[in-house]
C-alpha cells in the first residue's frame, strides 16, 4: 500500500458489481449479447445502403461496433456535426474512422436516426 499512487474507488467497484448483477438477473447476458450483435448487423446494413460510406468492420466478424468512413468529411468533423443533431458517436484515430457502438438498450429507431443524420450531413457537403 505504501507505494500505491491512489486509493481504491470503492463506490465505483460496488456500482460496477451491482450493474453486472442487474444485467445477469434482469436483462440476461445471452439476450444482451444477441441484442447488441443484432443491432450491430442492422447498423452495418443501413450504413451499407448509403452512397459514399465505406464500411471498415467486416460483417462476418462483427458484434456491436461498426467502423466506417464517409467520403468528403473527416471523422472528427462528422462526429461534431452529428452531435449537433443529437446523435452521439465517436471517431477512432487508428485507423481514422467513425464508429457506431450499439448497446442492448438501443433500438432500431436509434440506428435509423443516426443513419438519417449521416445522410443529412452528406447532403450538406
Query: Per the domain annotation, does 54 fall within a domain?
Result: yes
SS3 for 19-51 is HHHHHHHHHCHHHHHHHHHHHHHHHHHHHHCCC
Q: Is 72 left (phi over 0), alpha (psi -120 to 50) or beta?
A: left
Query: Per the domain annotation, does 23 fall within a domain?
Result: no
Query: Per the domain annotation, does 20 fall within a domain?
Result: no
Query: Per the domain annotation, does 51 fall within a domain?
Result: yes
Residue 1 pLDDT > 70, yes or no? Answer: no
Query: Per the domain annotation, does 115 fall within a domain?
Result: yes
Domain that holds residue 105: 29-123
At 68 the three-state DSSP class reads strand
* Rounded distance between C-alpha atoms, residue 75 and residue 42, angstroms: 21
Reported pTM: 0.86
What is the total count of domains within the chain? 1
- Residue 34: which CATH number? 3.90.1150.10
- pLDDT category, 116, cuts 50, 70, 90? very high
Dump pLDDT digits (tens) for 6-32: 788 999 999 999 999 999 999 999 999
Dump pLDDT digits (tens) for 74-93: 999 999 999 999 999 999 99
Amino acid at each position: 500500500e505504501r507505494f500505491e499512487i491512489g486509493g481504491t474507488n470503492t463506490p465505483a467497484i460496488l456500482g460496477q458489481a451491482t450493474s453486472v448483477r442487474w444485467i445477469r438477473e434482469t436483462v440476461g447476458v445471452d439476450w444482451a449479447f444477441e441484442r447488441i450483435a443484432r443491432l450491430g448487423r442492422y447498423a452495418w446494413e443501413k450504413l451499407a445502403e448509403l452512397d459514399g460510406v465505406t464500411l471498415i468492420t467486416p460483417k462476418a466478424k462483427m458484434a456491436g461496433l461498426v467502423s466506417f468512413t464517409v467520403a468528403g468529411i473527416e471523422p472528427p468533423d462528422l462526429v461534431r456535426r452529428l452531435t449537433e443533431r443529437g446523435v452521439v458517436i465517436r471517431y477512432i484515430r487508428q485507423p481514422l474512422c467513425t464508429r457506431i457502438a450499439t448497446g442492448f438498450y438501443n433500438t432500431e429507431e436509434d440506428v435509423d436516426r443516426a443513419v438519417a443524420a449521416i445522410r443529412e450531413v452528406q447532403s450538406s457537403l
